[in-house]
Amino acid sequence: MDTKFLPQPKQLTFDQGTLTFTPHTRIVLSPSVAPQALLYAQMLQQAICTHAGLCPALGRGESQTGDITLSIDTAQTVGHYTLSVCTTGISLVAADDEALCNAVQTLIQLVQQHGAMVPCLHIADFPNLAHRGYYQDCSRGRVPTLGYLKRVADLLCRYKINEWQLYIEHTYLFRNLSEAWRDDTPLTADDILELDAYCAARHIELVPSLSSFGHMYKILSTKTCCDLCELPDSEKIPFSYTYAGSHHTLNVSNPNVVDFIKSLIDEYRPLFRSKKFNICADETFDLGKGRSKELADQLGEKALYVQHVKALCEYLVEQGCTPMFWGDIMWRFPQSCAELPKETICLNWGYLPNQRENEIRDIAASGITQYACPGVCGWNRWFPLYHNAYSNIRAMCHHAHKYNAIGLLNTDWGDYAHINDPRLTIPGILYGAAFGWNAQPIEFDELNRTVSRIGYGDTSEQLMGSLADLADHEIFDWQHAVNWIEGDSNRRAELLAELDFSLVEQANAAIRSALDRVLACSSTLPAGEKEIISIASITAESVLLWNEIGCWINGEQAPNFELAERLEHWYALYLQQWRQVSREGGLHHLTALIASYADLLRGRHIA
């Protein structure tokens, strides 16, 4: 039986026969089901209308032959559900409301593949990790539209991801930080409140996440807040992606710093029904190197770091919250975890394909609770490195189970303008869904076939493999492109020396070949669900174009008006694609950078 599920259920057995939906089929909510389950019944109703061509009525009470029955059995273990299809009807029985929602998502995938005649089967299922999360950058260039955020919430629900964090630096409309967001398009309280309610109805815990130590460049570059910055004169330094990615950090020797962050927490936290709060506190690159150097020399950088994190965690615990923080700094001295409140959760990240277990092992030994945090590997790339993402997520989930981590938080960053289209990281999200729910390994090619069929409705099951073949051909990659245009002559020479432009012809040929295979899948995708074709096409052009620009820079650099025009026409298409899912965000900086390259191609001098 060629039936796929994502994530794969724990127990799945097929029986003889099929159940055929009829115009008289009903979706019946049993008396044990809470009122909020109406939403799941409506999801199922819509799926049957779309994929089977029939529209079953909804009902509550006792079911009859041929009906689909949703019910709760509290005798089951929390999180467990069963799904049984027989010739006389379908039964979904769950231990709780969230498990019932998950059961419905599984049945929707069955209907998606078989339409009005679904095979008889029995599924018994439950998650391996209770907390299965996705972490989305909303600060480094892209601020998603509310419509797209709701679309992501629907995706997370469909694949049983039950936790979601939006990474915020300056892109929330804080009342007293207008200087930081005045040239951006920040999320508002209205947005967060509406999204939080939308997520809660789908059993997704929307967890607030806010930079509160490092990575506060935009806020600490304002005249309003520059006195809180570790580095003096932060407000006088012109913007560059290279600089902004590494600075700024709070000056923890300033007695006003903790109260400043508390005020941001007090404004932001009440918008969420979650009792978790992620203070981030990662990559504090400037700590002890400026205004707090004297104190760092006296007490040590470790003490400064732990003191600040501890103060914020204790404050959150006083508010009845569970603090979370990124573990990259604390891993250097895991024994200090004992100084934090016992409720604190360490978010332990690592993004290598063969990511070692050391960090998770050592934090586990410290006794603190932790999540394992892999990544979709899309940042600083036009196409995500899908194979790297698969390997990384698989490895980190293995470490999570080995060292009793309680959750998975799959990260999706947007360094250097967030040029990667967020819709291209959906496969990485689904890889996280697969391994977060079911610890049983599934091989890369098989998982990609499942993603193709279930995630995209591709009956050929070739789409995802072809998308994966588009990855890893970026010779003049985006990080080098940004660093080169922002660097001085010496830095530019160093950057070019790191790249082998003799590989461009082969790389571009591979891109064109893989894109042809993606385009061939357009006939096997459902009508109205082919946007991935356009996204892949424009993104493939991005790679081809920037590889050529890199070759031109590395060559004699005679003016090339044709290449400049191609760059500008491509960027017009790119902007259309951007605005489908994102607000203007940081586009003004990105547009200035693209214009600098176009000017350079025409022979204008660039400082």
Express each pLDDT in 293-318 by its tens digit: 999 999 999 999 999 999 999 999 99
Position 452 in a domain: no
Query: How does strand 117-125 pair with strand 81-86?
Result: antiparallel
Residue 165 shares a structural domain with residue 272: yes
What are 278's strand-pairing partners?
A: 209, 324
Nearest Cα to Cα of residue 157 among 411, 526, 396, 433:
433
DSSP string, 178-247: HHHHTTS--B-HHHHHHHHHHHHTTT-EEEEEE--SS--HHHHTSTTTGGGBSSTTGGGSPP-HHHHTT-
Q: Return the ∠ at Cα 429 (arms to 147 and 447), rounded to 5°.
A: 135
Q: How far is Cα 473 from Cα 536, in angstroms, rounded to an integer?
A: 14
Position 4 in a domain: no
Position 431 in a domain: yes
Q: What is the pLDDT of residue 246?
A: 86
Residue 542 has pLDDT above 70, yes or no: yes
Q: What is the pLDDT of residue 607?
A: 66
Q: What is the pLDDT of residue 606?
A: 75
Q: What is the 3-state secondary structure (H, E, C) of 433-460?
A: HHHHHCCCCCCHHHHHHHHHHHHHCCCC
Per-residue confidence band for 605, with pLDDT thresholds at 50, 70 and 90: confident
Residue 149's contacts (CB-CB under 8 Å, 6 or more residues apart) are 166, 191, 195
pLDDT in tens, 220-253: 999 999 999 999 999 999 999 999 988 899 999 9
Q: What is the pLDDT of residue 212?
A: 98
- The residue behind tokens 């990259």 is 328
pLDDT in tens, 522-539: 999 999 999 999 999 999
CATH of the domain at 136: 3.20.20.80
- How far is residue 65 from each of residues 37, 69, 106, 111, measured CA to CA in Å? 21, 10, 21, 19
The token duo for 437 is 């729910």
- How far is residue 163 from each of residues 30, 90, 129, 231, measured CA to CA in Å? 28, 29, 12, 35
Q: How far is Cα 500 from Cα 554, in angstroms, rounded to an integer?
A: 10
Mean pLDDT of 78-96: 98
Residue 120 shares a structural domain with residue 158: no
Residue 56 shares a structural domain with residue 170: no
Residue 67 has pLDDT above 80, yes or no: yes
pLDDT in tens, 431-490: 999 999 999 999 999 999 999 999 999 999 999 999 999 999 999 999 999 999 999 999
Residue 525 shares a structural domain with residue 494: yes
Position 385 in a domain: yes
Residue 178 shares a structural domain with residue 84: no
What's the distance, CA 525 to chain centroid? 24
**Residue that is last in its domain, among 96, 125, 154:** 125
Q: How far is Cα 39 from Cα 23, in angstroms, rounded to an integer?
A: 21
Is residue 207 within 8 A of residue 287, CB to CB? The reply is no
- Using omega within 30 degrees of 0 as the cis cutoff, is the peptide bond preceding 323 cis? no
Position 448 in a domain: no
CATH of the domain at 52: 3.30.379.10
**Residue that is last in its domain, among 125, 144, 160:** 125
Residue 1 has pLDDT above 60, yes or no: no
- Phi, psi (5° rounding) for residue 238? -65, 150
Residue 300 shares a structural domain with residue 348: yes
Residue 207 shares a structural domain with residue 237: yes
Residue 151 shares a structural domain with residue 260: yes
- Phi, psi (5° rounding) for residue 226? -60, -25
pLDDT in tens, 141-160: 999 999 999 999 999 999 99
Q: Return the ∠ at Cα 225 (arms to 221 and 226), rounded to 5°.
A: 50
Residue 378 shares a structural domain with residue 524: no
Per-residue confidence band for 20, with pLDDT thresholds at 50, 70 and 90: very high
Q: What does the longest C-alpha to C-alpha distance in the chain come to?
A: 79
Q: What is the pLDDT of residue 308?
A: 97
Per-residue confidence band for 556, with pLDDT thresholds at 50, 70 and 90: confident
pLDDT in tens, 317-361: 999 999 999 999 999 999 999 999 999 999 999 999 999 999 999
Show the beta-strand stretches assigned E in 5-143: 11-20, 26-29, 57-60, 68-72, 81-86, 89-94, 117-125, 131-137
Q: What is the pLDDT of residue 79?
A: 98
Q: Which domain holds residue 398?
A: 131-442
Q: What is the pLDDT of residue 8?
A: 97
**Residue that is last in its domain, among 388, 410, 442:** 442
Position 339 in a domain: yes
Q: How many CB atoms lie within 10 A of CB 23?
A: 8
Nearest Cα to Cα of residue 571 among 542, 532, 544, 596:
542
Residue 564 has pLDDT above 60, yes or no: yes
Query: How does strand 81-86 pair with strand 89-94?
Result: antiparallel
Residue 24 has pLDDT above 60, yes or no: yes
Position 607 in a domain: no
Total domains, the chain = 3
DSSP string, 281-305: ----TTTTSSTTHHHHHHH-HHHHH
Position 267 in a domain: yes
Query: How does strand 89-94 pair with strand 68-72?
Result: parallel
